[in-house]
Amino acid sequence: MRKPFIAGNWKMNLTHIEATAFIQDFHYDFKNKNNCEICICPPFIALRGIKNIIDADKINVKIGAQNMHWEKSGAFTGEISPEMLKALKIDYVIIGHSERRQYFAETNETVNKKVRAAFANDLLPIMCVGEDLKTREAGNAEDFVLGQITECLEGLEEKLAADLTVAYEPIWAIGTGRTATSEDANTMCSAIRKKIAGLYSFATAESVRIQYGGSVKPSNITELMSMPDIDGALVGGASINVGDFLAIINY
């Protein structure tokens, strides 16, 4: 059985001071009735502060970064390396979010390098894929997303792939209030799982967790989580509101 996995992607929101207040408020009301795995992905500058509070107060929440470079170190001004995240004892790292692809020129090739670098540094990648509206309306969404899966996983060993999380996030549903229907989201997640079975094996595909992302909120999470191939959610906007994020966790 795959453990449900709810992750919050804060994007470029909250100062380190606001992040501290968030985790304290969150801890105060924290319940986890579905026994989900939970991960919070704040901006880099809040990782250490949140990690210290989580560890000190033994809050059962994982922590993730929103991006990283694939190289160990070097002349890459402004970048953060996998080794730096490993030293912070971060659990997860979001790789290839559509905003990174759209605004920072990330490609399937760079996503592939980052996914492999994450595993090589004991970080678990949450690898994002998803089509834009034009692709969906042209009826090419599945081919497009499965192509992303193939290219982003190239050369990744099967024993590592089993620990992968994929986030299927249709770009037209991100931050728009427009969610994919749970049936459409499940159809894509199921196609992704079949693709992974083809690339590796049925057993590996069954262990990979596939999240849906795109305007997830307290009012739609229960239906999304009732779908057989949706194992969790990558939550953007609603993850920086303590009440909404807790309501999503306790769907």
From candidates 117, 220, 237, 245, binder to ligand PGA by CB under 6 A: 237
Site for ligand PGA in 174-233 (CB under 6 A): 174-175, 213-216
Q: How far is the CB of 10 from ligand PGA (least distance, A)?
A: 10
42 forms part of the interface with ligand PGA (CB under 6 A): no
| Interface with ligand PGA: number of residues (CB under 6 A) | 13
> Which one of 63-71, 101-109, 188-196, 235-243 is the stretch in contact with ligand PGA (CB under 6 A)?
235-243
Which value, to the nearest 10 degrees, does the dihedral of the CA atoms of residues 193, 197, 200, 206 take?
A: 70
Q: Examine residue 9 and tell whether it contacts ligand PGA (CB under 6 A).
A: yes
Among positions 41, 235, 240, 242, the unique one binding ligand PGA when judged by CB under 6 A: 235
C-beta of 174: minimal distance to ligand PGA in Å? 4
Query: Judged by CB under 6 A, does residue 234 bind ligand PGA?
Result: yes
Catalytic residue chosen out of the listed positions 37, 106, 131, 169: 169
Residue 236, interface with ligand PGA (CB under 6 A)? yes
Q: Is residue 32 classed exposed, middle or buried when 0-12, 13-18 and 19+ CB atoms within 10 A define those classes?
A: middle
Q: Quick check: is 97 catalytic?
A: yes
Catalytic residues: 97, 169
Q: Site residues (CB under 6 A) for ligand PGA?
A: 9, 169, 174-175, 213-216, 234-238
